[in-house]
Amino acid sequence: MPSTPDTALSDDAARPSRREQILRAAAQLFAERGARAVGVDDVGAAVGVTGPAIYRHFASKDAMLAEMLLRISERLLAGSAEVVAAAGDDAAGQLRALIAFQVEFALDNPALITVQDRDLGVLSEPDARRVRQLQRRYVEEWVGVLARLHPGASTAACRARAHALFGLINSTPHSAGRLARPAMARLLTGMAEAAATAPVS
Amino acid sequence: MPSTPDTALSDDAARPSRREQILRAAAQLFAERGARAVGVDDVGAAVGVTGPAIYRHFASKDAMLAEMLLRISERLLAGSAEVVAAAGDDAAGQLRALIAFQVEFALDNPALITVQDRDLGVLSEPDARRVRQLQRRYVEEWVGVLARLHPGASTAACRARAHALFGLINSTPHSAGRLARPAMARLLTGMAEAAATAPVS
DNA sequence: CCCCGATGTGAACAGCGGTTAACCTCAGCG
DNA sequence: CGCTGAGGTTAACCGCTGTTCACATCGGGG
């Protein structure tokens, strides 16, 4: 299926073509109430259309969620690879770059963060597998950097550390907007760098 | 309603009375698939009965979830208060105590951690309100300690820091069992203490 | 001018899952 | 021995929600 060139090119960049509006609105709703709890009618209403109209743009409700999660994972993976490459050979610099990248993403898209780790389970097994694979590769990006920073640590320890750092940074949906964004960014960055470099006793 | 002394006393401590078995099994299933995705029949099957048998022990499926989440919140709040009191007046000592407590809980109950922050939204509004109130008081326990440790920081900053620490420690469900428990405990504790005391730039 | 594809609508369908109802079993006890 | 209440079972009900269907609308070529 290398055809259907419409999904990738004409829609993404230009105006927020209905299809894009729907995805955005759905992300918001899914984050607030959980994917299973929002009806097709709710998503439709959010963009000023009735429920069944959705099916002119997506094969099913699950397909919407799948596309949403796949996009996030791909974006994170691509972004991290780029950012690490741009940081040169210094492991400490790469770590700072990864942290800055993840902090920015988490502050920009708290809704997507929420959906991604709450609703992965509602995907069909094949879709879930693809998302998990992308996530795994993203994690490995971090693990590689952490391993160079902690030469004595096992891979398992580095992986656990990476997950802990994600948990730390991805706490943005829980501490919504109380703190101004620059202050929040500085706080999370500082905490993450401290936690990432803390020696294991 | 000071009657019905059965729920509180005879059931909790002694043998895991059916009712308790159900709660435990449900917690496990809810954590794996999400509360909405688990059928009453699934919960029944997990303890060797049919679905409707559940209604001999709980008023509804939502009541199960509500009791589950309320218990967790109460347990955390009570535990943290106790642990802080036992740590004396030293803010640094109180922080270490809170971290140790949360790490232990997160390692013992990854399933409960998952359910608590994924399925809060399916509770009825009154139940959800009660759970949130308990959670808020738990957070304030941390905020108080963090505020004494960072005299210059705003309350909002301390609250954000607390949430970030929860995210860090509660990452246990994501890094399941790859690392031996003592190593995991040391890692999380070390990271949390570093993140908690990191100065804001 | 007419046809057509894209987009939307309202109504109807269908399956799933929580809940209820009616009935069974059986241990304990007066 | 017979009653009773706790705990189960099966079958049925019913509302909700994803999905489909048949039909409008309408802008833009041919």
What is the tens place of the pLDDT at every residue in B83-128?
999 999 999 999 999 999 999 999 999 999 999 999 999 999 999 9
Whether the per-residue pLDDT at A198 is higher than 60: the answer is yes
Type of residue found at A136: R
Interface of A with B in 27-56 (CB under 8 A): 32-34, 36-37
Predicted pLDDT of residue B2: 38
| Chain A interface mutation, best of B191, B200, B201, highest count of A Cβ atoms under 10 Å | B191
Domain residue ranges in chain A: 61-197
In this complex, the nucleotide whose C1' atom is nearest to the CA atom of residue B36 is C17
Predicted pLDDT of residue B6: 38
Structure tokens at B29: 């299933």
To the nearest whole angstrom, how far is the Cα of A198 from the nearest Cα of chain B? 6
Q: For B5-34, what is each residue's pLDDT tens digit? A: 333 334 444 567 999 999 999 999 999 999
Contact B165 A170 (CB under 8 A): no
Region A18-42 average pLDDT: 97
Predicted pLDDT of residue A15: 59
A56 touches strand C (CB under 7 A): yes
Q: What is the CA A133 to chain-centroid distance, rounded?
A: 13
DSSP type of residue A137? H
Q: For A78-106, what is each residue's pLDDT tens digit? A: 999 999 999 999 999 999 999 999 999 99
Q: Which of A166, A174, A192 sits opposite B163 (nearest CB)?
A: A174
To the nearest whole angstrom, how far is the Cα of B179 from the nearest Cα of chain A? 6
Whether the per-residue pLDDT at A14 is higher than 70: the answer is no
Whether the per-residue pLDDT at A1 is higher than 90: the answer is no
CA dist., res. B86 & res. B111, Å (int): 28
Q: Are B22 and B66 in contact (CB under 8 A)?
A: no
Q: CA torsion sign, A34 to A40 to A45 to A49?
A: positive
Whether the per-residue pLDDT at B181 is higher than 90: the answer is yes
Contact A192 B195 (CB under 8 A): yes
Predicted pLDDT of residue B9: 39
For strand C, give the nucleotides within 7 A of a protein CB.
Answer: 6-11, 17-21
**What is the maximal distance between C-alpha atoms in chain A?**
58
Calculated CA dihedral for residues B24, B181, B170, B120, nearest 10 degrees: 0
At residue A57, what are phi and psi to the nearest 5 degrees? Answer: -120, -25
Instruction: Please tell me if residue B157 touches chain A, with a CB cutoff of 8 Å.
Output: yes
For the entire predicted model, the pTM comes to 0.92
Q: For A53-66, what is each residue's pLDDT tens digit? A: 999 999 999 999 99
CA dist., res. A60 & res. A105, Å (int): 28
Contact A164 B169 (CB under 8 A): yes
Instruction: Please tell me if residue B164 touches chain A, with a CB cutoff of 8 Å.
Output: yes
In this complex, the nucleotide whose C1' atom is nearest to the CA atom of residue B55 is C19
Predicted pLDDT of residue B148: 98
Q: Are A73 and A135 in contact (CB under 8 A)?
A: yes
List the one residue out of A109, A83, A85 whose CA is nearest residue A97. A83
List the one residue out of A78, A91, A74 whose CA is nearest residue A196. A91
CA dist., res. A108 & res. A52, Å (int): 30
List the one residue out of A69, A174, A86 whose CA is nearest residue A128. A69
Contact A159 B165 (CB under 8 A): no
List the one residue out of A160, A42, A166, A172 whose CA is nearest residue A107. A172
| Chain B interface mutation, best of A96, A116, A168, highest count of B Cβ atoms under 10 Å | A168
DSSP type of residue A198? P
Instruction: Please tell me if residue B15 touches chain A, with a CB cutoff of 8 Å.
Output: no
Q: What is the CATH number of domain A61-197?
A: 1.10.357.10
To the nearest whole angstrom, how far is the Cα of B32 from the nearest Cα of chain A? 8
